[in-house]
């Protein structure tokens, strides 16, 4: 990950977590009493620091973001872990992390190769959620899913060819939701590890949803299903 966060929400959440080393701001109205070094800058400099991202007047140089490990995400009952199989769009990753935090999910896992990774754009899209969500990077998703099964998790994948609708499953169990890549969906080996495969209904002419939108529907369906108990 780069050494900067930008955007108001991302900036102030990183500040709460003590990760900001130095602030770069348009003015010091909101940070002059925060006991951190800062520099007042013009927009051109802020644009340069965040590669012309939407900084909203706040850029922070930060300590390196520390990834978690899968074991930190494990719960005894009604766990919810999001696994991303080959996601490629940083905006989708950021949006999924934000949804995972809002829904109280226990963590997000993605693979270390051929996949999008946490960076400053992901942090901005996540709008501060990255400071609270456990994110793990693994070398082998299939092995990770096998290990989660040993720890009493059930693997639920999403695929348009599934027979079962997403809201027909009882999610009163430790659940891993697998979200496939934007273009190819789940890989064959990951799909084979799924205990259940569900689909979202499609009523229009387009046959697939944006990955982060699909993830949001599936995540909140799990929460809704459990709340009805």
> What's the topology of domain 70-227?
Alpha/beta knot (3.40.1280)
Residue spans of the domains in the chain: they are: 4-62, 70-227
- The DSSP bridge partners found for residue 191 are none
> Per DSSP, what are the bridge partners of residue 211?
none
Pick the CATH number of 4-62 from 3.30.1330.30, 3.30.2130.10, 3.40.50.1220, 3.40.50.300: 3.30.1330.30
4-62 and 70-227, same CATH topology: no
61 bridge partner residues: 4, 22
The predicted structure's pLDDT at residue 3 = 85
The full 3-state SS of the chain, as one line of letters, equals CCCEEECHHHHHHHHHCCCEEEEEECCCCCCCCCCCCEEECCHHHHHHHCCCCCCCCEEEEECCCCCCCHHHHCCCCCCEEEEEECCCCHHHHHHHHHHHHHHCCCEEEEECCCCCCCCHHHHHHHCCHHHCCCEEEECCHHHHHHHHHHCCCEEEEECCCCCEECCCCCCCCCEEEEEEECCCECCHHHHHCCCEEEECCCCCCCCCCCHHHHHHHHHHHHHHHHHCC
For position 1, what pLDDT does the model report?
46
pLDDT in tens, the chain (229 residues): 458 999 999 999 999 999 999 999 999 999 988 999 999 999 999 999 988 889 999 999 998 888 999 999 999 999 999 999 999 999 999 999 999 999 999 999 999 998 999 998 899 999 999 999 999 999 999 999 999 999 999 999 999 889 999 999 999 999 999 999 988 899 999 999 999 999 999 999 888 889 999 999 999 999 999 987 6
């Amino acid at each position: 990950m780069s050494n900067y966060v930008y955007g108001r929400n991302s900036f102030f959440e990183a500040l709460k977590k003590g990760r900001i080393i130095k602030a770069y701001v348009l003015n010091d109205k909101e940070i002059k009493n925060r006991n951190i070094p800062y520099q007042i800058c013009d927009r051109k400099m802020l644009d340069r620091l965040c590669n012309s991202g939407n900084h909203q007047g706040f850029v922070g140089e930060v300590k390196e973001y520390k990834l978690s490990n899968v074991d930190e995400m494990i719960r005894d009952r009604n766990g919810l872990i999001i696994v991303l199989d080959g996601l490629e769009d940083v905006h989708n990753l950021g949006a999924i992390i934000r949804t995972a935090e809002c829904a109280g999910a226990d963590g997000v896992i993605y693979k270390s190769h051929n996949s999008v990774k946490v960076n400053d754009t992901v942090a901005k899209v996540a709008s501060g959620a990255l400071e609270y969500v456990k994110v793990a990077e693994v070398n082998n998703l299939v092995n990770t899913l096998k290990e989660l099964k040993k720890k009493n998790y059930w693997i639920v994948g999403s695929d348009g060819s599934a027979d079962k609708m997403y809201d027909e499953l009882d999610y009163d169990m430790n659940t891993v939701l697998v979200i496939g890549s934007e273009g190819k969906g789940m890989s064959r080996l990951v799909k084979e590890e799924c205990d259940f495969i569900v689909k979202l209904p499609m009523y229009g002419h387009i046959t697939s949803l944006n990955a982060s939108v699909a993830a949001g529907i599936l995540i909140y369906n799990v929460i809704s299903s459990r709340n009805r108990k």
